[in-house]
Structure 1
Amino acid sequence: MLFQPFTFKNGQTAKNRFFKSAMEEQLAKHNRPTEQLVRLYDTWAKGGAGVLVTGNVMVADNGKGSINDVVLTDDRSMDTLKAWAKAGKQNDTLLIMQINHAGKQSPKVLSPTPVAPSAVALQGMDGFINPPRELAAGEIEELVGRFIETARLAEQAGFSGVQIHGAHGYLISQFLSPHHNRRNDKWGGSLENRMRFLVEIYQGIRAAVGSEFLVGLKLNSADFQKGGFDENDSIRVVQKMSELGIDFIEISGGNYESPEMLTAKESTKKREAFFLDYAEKARAVSQVPLIITGGFRSEAAMNEALQSGHLDFIGIARPFALMPDLPDKIRQGTYQTITTNRIKTGVAAVDNKIGAVLEMDWYMAQMALIGKGKQPNPNLSPWKVLLKNLWENGKAGLSTGRS
C-alpha cells in the first residue's frame, strides 16, 4: 500500500503514501529562505516521498520561535521561494508549506514580551521564555490576516499547498487549550469559541487561494497537560474542520511543557505508530485524509498502519534527516530499518537539562549537511553540535530549537 497513489478531493495526487512531516531546519538567513533550503528539498524530492512538508514558516515578525526561522510577510524573497517550490516539487512530489506563529513559545532573546490568547506563563521556562501578554481582539483579527497572506504568497511561489500548524503548543494550539486560553470574549470559553481563531484562518485562506491549492492542518491528539486540550476536544475539532472541507489532517501531540512529540512509552515505541489509537477514533467522525506522525521506522509497521484503514499517509520526520531517499530504498528493496537512538553527551547533568533541545539541534545539523550538498553523518558528535550552538547563539540557542 505504501506505493499506491492518493488523489485528494481537489484533484491533486500524491504518488505514494510517504508524508515527510515538518522538521525545523533553521536554514534561513535574516529570516529569509536560502539556497541551502532549496538544496535540502531538492534532495528530498529526488528521494521518492509523495508529500514533503516544510519546517515552520512564520506569518509575522513577532511570531518567531527560533533565531533562523523563515518569516514570510511579503514578496521580497519570491525568487528564492519559487526556486524552493520548484526543487521540492520535482519527481511529481507535492510540496506543502507549514505556516505558523509561535505565540508565547518564543524565547526572550526574540520576544521580550511574547503574545498569547491569555497572559498565562509557560511552566519550567524561566530564564528562557518570558511571560506573555494577552492579545487584543484587533490584534487577533490582524493575525488571521497574516496567516491568509502567507498562504497566498506560498501559492504565488508555486507550493502545492499549506499546512496550518495547530499543534505543539504554538499560537493556534494555545487558542484551542482551555489552560492557555482563558478569554471571556468570542475567542475563548467554549470549544466553539476557542477554535474560532483556527476556523477563521482556514476559511480566510480557502477564500484567498485557488481550488487546487491544498490547505491542511496539523493538530494535537491532546496536549497531555492537566486542564489542557484533550482528546475529546481534538476529535470535535477534527469533525468541525472536516465539515468545513479541510484537505488533510496530520496528528501529533504535546507542547513545550509536555513534549509528547519527543517522548513515548516503550510499548508505544515497539508498535511504532504513536497515535494510532487516536486515528481510529478520528476516522469514526471524519473521512478527511489522515496522517499520523511519530515512531514509524519499519516497512512492516508502515504497511500495517495503512492496512488498518485508520489513516491514509505515513508521517515520517527524523529518519528523513538521516536517510533522505528512504522511500526509494523501500521501493528498491534495499531498506534496512533505520534506528534513531537518543542523542546524548553521556553527561547526565547536560542530558537531563537540555537533552531534548540538543537532540533537535543534532537533527538540524544533519539537514544543514544535506543543504550543503553533503551526506548525513549518523556519527556526528553531540558535543560538536552543542559547542557550535553555544558559539553561534549563546545560551539562547539552547531554548530555540523546535520540532
Structure 2
Amino acid sequence: MSNDINLNTPFTLKNGTVIKNRLFKSAMSEQLGTKEHNPTKGLATLYKTWAEGGLGLSITGNIMVDRTALGEPKNVVLDTQSDLEPFKKWAQAGSANGSHIWPQLNHPGKQIPNFITEEPVAPSAIALENGLEKGFNKPRALTESEILDIIEKFATAAELSKKAGFTGVQIHGAHGYLVSQFLSPRHNQRNDQWGGSLENRMRFVLAVYHAMREKVGSDFPIGIKLNSADFMRGGFTEEDSMEVVKALASAGIDLIEISGGTYESPSMVGHKMKPTTQKREAYFLEYAEKVRNLIDTPLVVTGGFRSADGMITALRSGATDFIGLGRPLAVYPNLPNELMADENHSIELRPLTTGVKIVDKMAMLDITWYEFQLARMAQKKAPKPNMSEWSTFFKTLMGAGVYAFRKRRA
C-alpha cells in the first residue's frame, strides 16, 4: 500500500513511456466510421475533447483488423487499404494536453450480426447461446492458414498505428471476441495446436502479441484487455486467466486491463454484481488483487468507479495502477480534471428506461443512448445527461431502421 499515490500521480511503464496520471479511458464503441471504414473528422474532435478533459491515456473504440469481419456496421478498420491521413489527425488530436491515445485492435470472430455476414469464422463451429443465436449465425471453424493470416493482420494494424502517430496499441482479448474465443474451452474445441489444453488455447494471443512486437519494436507500448473470467459454465475461468496473465507478463506485455464476462453473460456492465463489489465500486478489483501477487506488469481495473475516493483507495491498495472509465466519460468529458481537483468529487449515472420493458430490450439503451452522447461531442456539442430514452429510441429507428436494434457489440 502507498498513501502518497493520487489520481494525478504520473506512471512510467517498463519501456520508459510516461503516462501523466492514473485516469484511463476504456474502449467504447463510437460507431463513427465512414462508409470506407476510415475515421470520421468527429473522432478527432471527440478524442481531443477527452484529452483536454484531463485523461492520461485513452483507448479507442475497437478498430477492426479485417474489413471482411466487422462487429458493427460503422466500425473503423485499420489495414493496408486504409487512408492513414484521418488516422494521423485522430492520433494528433487524442495526444493533446500530454495525453496518450492507443487504438484497440480487434477481430470479432463469430460476434458478427447476421445482417452483416452470413458465415462468420471462429476457432470452432460453435454458435453463440443465451438468445444471441437469433442475431448471430453459427460460425465456420478457421483453417490453420486463416489463423496465421489474422495474426498477420493484427501485426499490420499495430505497425500502421505506430506510423499514424498513436502512442501504443491495445489487443482486445475480452468480451467474447476472437482472442477471447480462442482462450475459452467453451468456444474453442479444436484438436490441433490452437485448441485443447490451456497452453494451446493461449497460443493465438501470444502469437498476436509476438507478431505485433516484431513490427513495432520494444519501445512502443502494447497492452491487452483481458477477461478475469467469462462467468459461464465451461468457459474461461479465473484460474485460466491467471495463467494467461503470467504468460503475457513473461512475454513482455506493457499494460493489462482487467475486465470480465461476454455478451452471453455481461459482467462488464455490472450484471449480477455482488454487494461487496458494489461497495468497493470496481467490478474486478478482487481479481486484480490476486493478479498483483503473481506479476509486476502494470494493471488497469475498469468498470464501476464513480467517486474520487473509491478510485484513490483502489490505487493506494496496490491492486491497480490505473482507473479505467467508460460510460461516465460519455456524459462528463471533463471528469478527470474534476476528480483530480476534488477528492470528494463523485458522479452518478441514472438508470436508463423508457418505462416499457420490451422497448428497453429492443432499444439497447446502454449502447445507443451513450452512442448519441459520443455523436454530440463529435459534433462539438456538449453531452446531454437528461436526453430522453424515447428520443434515443426514435432517433435510432429513424437513422438506421430496424437494423439499428439488431443484437450488437460494444
Q: Give the TM-score, by structure 2 length.
A: 0.95
Letter of the aligned partner of 1:377 in structure 2?
K
Taking a change above 3 Å as real, the CA distance of residues 402 and 252 of structure 1, as seen in their structure-2 partners, is: same
Superposed CA deviations along residues 145-184 of structure 1, whole A, max 9, x for unmatched, are 0000001000000001100000000000000000000000
Partner SS state of residue 269, structure 2 = coil
CA contact (8 A) 2:33 2:74 kept: yes
Q: 2:331 aligns with which of 318, 322, 326?
A: 322
> Which of residues 91, 98, 103 in structure 1 aligns to 2:97?
91
One-letter identity of the residue aligned with 2:217: G
Aligned to 2:289: 280
Please state if 1:153 is matched with 2:170.
no
What is residue 228 of structure 2 aligned with on the other side? 221
Once the two structures are TM-superposed, the CA of residue 75 in structure 1 deviates from its matched residue by 5.6
Q: Which amino acid aligns with 1:77?
A: D
Structure 1 contact 152–208 (Cα < 8 Å) conserved: yes
In 1, are the aligned partners of 2:332 and 2:383 still within 8 Å (CA)?
A: yes
Work out whether residues 155 and 211 of structure 2, in 8 Å CA contact, stay in contact via their aligned partners in 1: yes
**Which consecutive residues of structure 2, in runs of 5 or more, have no partner in the other structure?**
1-5
1:169-188 → structure 2 map (5 Å cutoff)? 169-188=176-195
**Structure-2 change in CA distance of 1:266 and 1:380 (3 Å):** farther
In the alignment, the residues of structure 1 paired with residue 406 and residue 40 of structure 2 have an alpha-carbon distance, to the nearest angstrom, of 23
Give CA deviations for 1:331-352 in whole Å, capped at 9, x if unaligned: 333974111122111102222x
Alignment counterpart, residue 27 of structure 1, candidates 24, 32, 55: 32
**1:213 Cα shift?**
1.1
**Cα displacement string for residues 2-36 of structure 1 (whole angstroms, at most 9, x for unaligned residues):** 11100011111000000111100111111110100
Identity score, percent = 49
Aligned residues: 401
Corresponding residue for residue 10 of structure 1: 15
Letter in 2 for 1:53: I
Per-residue deviation, 1:401: 4.0
Structure 1 unmatched ranges of 5 or more: none
One-letter code aligned to 2:92: K
In the alignment, the residues of structure 1 paired with residue 82 and residue 205 of structure 2 have an alpha-carbon distance, to the nearest angstrom, of 27
Matches within 5 A, 1:291-310: 291-310=300-319
**Residue 173 of structure 2 aligns with which residue?**
166
Matched, 1:365 2:372: yes
CA distance in 1: counterparts of 2:396 and 2:17, whole angstroms: 40
Contact 2:65–2:157, Cα closer than 8 Å, also in 1? yes
Equivalent residue, structure 1, for 2:362: 354
- Counterpart amino acid of residue 330 in structure 1: L
**1:139 maps onto 2:134 in alignment:** no
Moved over 3 A (4+): none
Task: From the superposition, tell whether residues 42 and 281 of structure 1 become closer, same or farther in structure 2 (CA, over 3 Å).
Answer: same
- Residue 3 of structure 2: aligned partner: none
1:116-159 Cα offsets, whole Å, 9 max, x none, are: 00010001123311111111111000000000000100000000
Structure 2 distance, partners of 1:344, 1:396, is 21
| Preserved CA contact (<8 Å) 1:65 1:400 | no
Would the aligned equivalents of 1:36 and 1:371 in 2 still touch at CA under 8 Å? yes
- Contact 1:161–1:214 (8 Å) recurs in 2: yes
Given that residues 29 and 371 in structure 2 are in contact (C-alpha distance below 8 angstroms), is that contact kept between their aligned partners in structure 1? yes
Residues 370-391 of structure 1 show CA distances to partners (whole Å, capped at 9, x for unaligned) of 0000000011111221222222
1:50 matched to 2:56? The reply is yes
Question: What is the identity, as a one-letter code, of the residue corresponding to 2:7?
Answer: L
Secondary structure at 2:204's aligned position in 1?
Answer: helix
Q: 1:373 to 1:334 in 2, by over 3 A?
A: farther
1:400 offset after TM fit, Å? 5.0
**Does the 8 Å contact 1:18/1:313 carry over to 2?**
yes
Between the aligned partners of 1:37 and 1:150, the Cα distance in structure 2 is: 18
How far is 1:329 from its partner? 1.2
SS in 2 for 1:295: coil
Bigger drift between 296-305 and 390-399 goes to: 390-399
RMSD: 1.3
The one of 302, 310, 320 equivalent to 1:311 is 320
Which amino acid letter does the alignment assign opposite residue 224 of structure 2?
L
Q: TM-score under structure 1 normalisation? A: 0.97
Residue 392 of structure 1 deviates from its aligned partner by 2.6
